Structure 1
Amino acid sequence: MVVALNNSNDNSTDERTPLDVQNNEVEDIERIPEDHFKSESRQLIDRLIKLGVVVLLLLWGSLLLIKTIKSNDKESRDFPQYVFPNPNVTVDGKLKVAFSNVRNGTFKPEMHNIQWLEHTTGAKEDKGLYVTWKDDSYVIKSVSDKHYENVLLKGKTFIEDGHNMTIDNIVASPDLKKLLIKTNTVKNWRHSTMASYFVYDKSSLTFSHIGDHITLAEWSPNAMDIAYIQDNDIFLYSTGKKQTTEQVTSDGSSQIFNGRPDWVYEEEVFESDKALWWSPDGSYIAFLKTDETDVNEFTIPYYVQEESSIYPEMRSIKYPKSGQSNPLVDLYVYSINDKTSFPGHTSKYFQDSDNLITEVIWVGKDSVIAKVSDRSQDLLKVLEIDANKRTTEVTRIESSQGGWWEVTHDTFYIPRNQKYDRAENGYIDILPINGFNHLVYFSPINSTKSLILTKGNWEVVNGVAAFDYDTNRVYFISTKKSSTERHLYYVKLDRPGVVHKVTDTSEDGVFSATFSSSARFMLLTCSGPKVPYQKIVDLGSSQKDKHIEGNVLGETLYYLKKNEKLIESTELYKIPSKKFNELNLGKDANGDDIIVNSFEILPNDFDRNLKNHYPVFFYAYGGPNSQQVIKTFGVGFNEIIASQLGAIVVVVDGRGTGFKGREFRSLVRDNLGDYEAQDQIAAAAYYGSKSYVDSEKISLFGWSYGGYLTLKTLERDGGKHFKYGMSVAPVTDWRLYDSVYTERYMHTPQENEEGYDRSKVDNVTSIGQAQRFLLMHGTGDDNVHFQNSLKFLDKLNLNNVENYDVHVFPDSDHSISYHNANKIVYDKLFNWIKHAYLGVYLL
Structure 2
Amino acid sequence: MSSSTHSHKRKNSHLFPHRKSSNSSMDRPFFPDGNISSNTDSQVDESTNTFDGNRATDATIDVTDGQTPFIQDRSSMHPRRESFEFNDIENQRSVHSFFSVNTFNRRWGEWSLLEKRSFTLVFTLIALLVLFLIVILIPTKFLPTKTTPTKISPADSRIGKRTFSIENVLNGDFAIPEDTFHFIDPPHRLLSHDLDPGLFFTTKEIDGQTHFVAKQLFDKSFEINLGRNRFEFEGVEYTVSSVQISYSLDKIIFGTDLEPDFRHSSKGYYWIKDLNSGFIQPISPPERSADNHELGLWKLSYAHFSPAYNYIYFVYENNLYLQQVGATVARQITEDGSKDILNAKPDWIYEEEVLSSDQAIWWAPDDSKAVFARFNDTNVDEIQLDSYTDMRNPYVSKTIIKYPKPGFKNPKFDLFLVDLQNGVISSINTGGQEDSILYNGKWISPDAFRFEITDRNSKILNVKVYDVQSYQLLTVRTTDSNLFNGWIEKTKDVVSIPPKPESKRMDYGYIDIHTDNKGFNHLFYYPTIFTKDGIQLTKGNWEITGNGVLGYEYETDTVFFTANEIGVMSQHLYSTSLADPTTSSALQVLQKPSEKNDFYEFELSSSARYAVSKKLGPDTPKKVAGPLTEVLNIAEIDNDSVLQLTRDEKFKEKLKNYDIPTTSYQSMVLNDGIEINYIEIKPANINPKKKYPILVNVYGGPGSQTFTTKSSLAFEQAVVSGLDAIVLQIEPRGTGGKGWSFRSWARKRLGYWEPRDIIEVTKKFIQRNNPHIDESKVAIWGWSYGGFTSLKTVELDNGETFEYAMAVAPVINWTLYDSIYTERYMNQPSENQEGYFDVSTIKNFKSFESLKRLFIIHGTSDDNVHVQNTFRLVDQLNLLGLTNYDMHIFPDSDHSIRYHNAQRIVFQKLYYWLKDAFDGRFDNKKLLSL
Band the TM-score falls in, shorter-chain normalisation? 0.7 to 0.9
Q: Please state whether the residue corresponding to 1:395 is helix, strand or coil.
A: strand
* Deviation per residue, 1:94-129 (Å, 9 max, x gap): 532222321222212233453223344621232211
Determine the structure 1 residue equivalent to 2:169: 102
CA-based RMSD: 2.0
Partner of 1:316: 400
Secondary structure of 1:369's counterpart equals strand
* Corresponding residue number in structure 2 for 1:52: none
Q: Deviations over 1:135-155 (max 9, x none)?
A: 222121111222210122x11
Match for 1:732: what amino acid? Answer: I
Note if 1:128 corresponds to 2:212: no
Q: Is this contact kept in 2: 1:323–1:739, CA < 8 A?
A: yes
Q: Tell me which residue corresponds to 1:640.
A: 718
* Conserved 8 A contact 2:166-2:719: no
Residue 887 of structure 2: aligned partner: 806
Say if 1:517 and 1:509 are closer, same or farther in 2 by CA, change over 3 A.
Answer: same
Residue identity opposite 2:532 in structure 1: T
Query: AA paired with 2:590?
Result: V
Structure 2: distance between partners of 1:636 and 1:466: 32
1:830 aligns with 911
Q: How does 1:435-514 map to 2 (within 5 A)?
A: 435-461=519-545, 462-496=547-581, 498-507=586-595, 508-514=597-603
In the other structure, the counterpart of 1:526 is 615
Q: Say whether 1:778 aligns with 2:848.
A: no
Change (3 A) 1:720 1:803: same
- For 2:504 and 2:202, the matched residues in 1 are separated by 36
Q: Show the counterpart of 1:149.
A: 223
**Match runs of 1:537-556 below 5 Å:** 537-539=626-628, 549=634
Quote how far apart the aligned CAs of 1:516 are: 1.3
Structure 2 distance, partners of 1:840, 1:653, is 30
Deviation at 1:649, TM superposition (A): 0.6
| Residue matched to 2:605 | 516
* Aligned ranges 1:183-582 → 2 under 5 Å: 183-211=256-284, 212-244=298-330, 246-304=331-389, 306-346=390-430, 348-349=431-432, 352-400=433-481, 401=483, 402-433=485-516, 434-461=518-545, 462-496=547-581, 498-507=586-595, 508-539=597-628, 549=634, 557-561=642-646, 563-582=648-667
1:597 equivalent among 674, 677, 681 = 677
Q: Which amino acid aligns with 2:729?
A: V
- Of structures 1 and 2, the one scoring higher in RCO (CA 8 A, sep 6+) is 2
Deviation at 1:562, TM superposition (A): 5.4
Partner residue in 2 for 1:56: none
Aligned partners of 1:618 and 1:650 also within 8 Å: yes
Residue 662 of structure 2 contacts residue 682 of structure 2 at CA under 8 Å; is this kept in 1?
yes
For 1:276-297, what per-residue CA distance to the aligned partner results, in whole angstroms no more than 9, with x for missing partners?
A: 1221111111111100001001
Aligned residues of 2:693 and 2:777 also touching (Cα < 8 A): yes
Question: Which residue type is aligned with residue 526 of structure 1?
Answer: K
Could you say what secondary structure the match of 1:600 adopts?
A: strand
Tell me the alpha carbon deviations over residues 717-760 of structure 1, each in whole angstroms, 9 at most, x when there is no partner.
10010111111100010000001111111111111111000201
Matches of 1:676 and 1:113, distance apart in 2: 40
Q: Distance in 2 between matches of 1:702 and 1:548?
A: 34
> CA separation in 1, counterparts of 2:844 and 2:449?
50
CA positional deviation for 1:185: 1.4
Of 699, 706, 724 in structure 2, the residue corresponding to residue 628 of structure 1 is 706
Shift of 1:419: 2.0
* Equivalence for 1:679: 757
**Amino acid of the structure 2 residue aligned with 1:240:** G
How far 1:570 moved relative to its partner? 2.1
Residue 818 of structure 2 corresponds to which residue in structure 1?
A: 738
* Whole-angstrom CA distance in 2 between matches of 1:406 and 1:111: 33
CA shift digits 1:515-539 (9 cap, x unpaired): 1111011111101111111223424
* AA aligned opposite 2:849: G
Structure 2 counterpart of 1:731, one-letter code: V
Kept after mapping to 2: 8 A contact 1:604/1:646: no
**1:140 maps to what in 2?**
214
CA contact (8 A) 1:503 1:553 kept: no
CA distance in 2, matches of 1:684, 1:168: 45
CA contact (8 A) 1:420 1:472 kept: no
CA contact (8 A) 1:539 1:553 kept: no
Please give the secondary structure, in 2, of the residue aligned with 1:691.
Answer: helix
TM-score (norm: length of structure 2): 0.77
Change (3 A) 1:665 1:489: same
After alignment, is 787-796 or 470-479 more displaced?
787-796
Cα deviation, residue 557, structure 1: 3.1
Residues 1:665 and 2:748 are matched in the alignment: no
Q: 1:555 deviation in Å?
A: 10
Distance 1:606 1:177 in 2: 60
1:840: how far off? Answer: 2.0
Counterpart of 1:796 in structure 2 is 877
- Unpaired segments of 5 or more residues in structure 1? 1-89, 588-592
Work out which of the residue numbers 706, 714, 729 in structure 1 matches 2:794: 714
Q: Which amino acid aligns with 2:895?
A: H
Offset at 1:550? Answer: 5.2
Residue identity opposite 1:481 in structure 2 = I
Q: Distance in 2 between matches of 1:327 and 1:679?
A: 37
- The alpha-carbon deviation at position 566 of structure 1 amounts to 1.8
The aligned amino acid for 1:702 is G
**Corresponding residue of 1:13:** none
Kindly provide the CA deviation profile for residues 340-388 of structure 1, in whole angstroms up to 9, marking residues without a partner as x. Answer: 2222222x34xx3111111111111111110111121101011101233
Q: Which amino acid aligns with 2:424?
A: T
Aligned partner of 1:42 in structure 2 is none
Report the alpha carbon displacement of residue 772 of structure 1 after superposing the two structures with TM.
1.8
Encode CA deviations 1:414-444: one digit per residue, 9 max, x unaligned.
1112124432101101121211110000120
CA distance in 2, matches of 1:424, 1:113: 39
- Structure 1 letter corresponding to 2:856: L
Identity %: 35
Count of residue correspondences: 737
Deviation at 1:548, TM superposition (A): 5.7
CA distance in 1, matches of 2:158, 2:256: 52
Instruction: Kindly provide the CA deviation profile for residues 204-240 of structure 1, in whole angstroms up to 9, marking residues without a partner as x.
Output: 2211221211102121234232111111111112332
1:696-707 aligned at under 5 Å gives the runs 696-707=776-787
**Following TM superposition, by how much is the alpha carbon of 1:552 offset from its aligned partner in structure 2, in angstroms?**
10
SS in 2 for 1:664: helix
CA deviation after TM superposition for structure 1 residue 607, in Å: 2.3
Greater C-alpha Rg = 1
Q: Give the structure 2 partner of residue 166 of structure 1.
A: 239
| Contact kept in structure 1, 2:184 and 2:246, CA below 8 Å | no
**Contact 1:420–1:471 under 8 Å retained in 2:** no
> How big is the shift at 1:622?
0.8
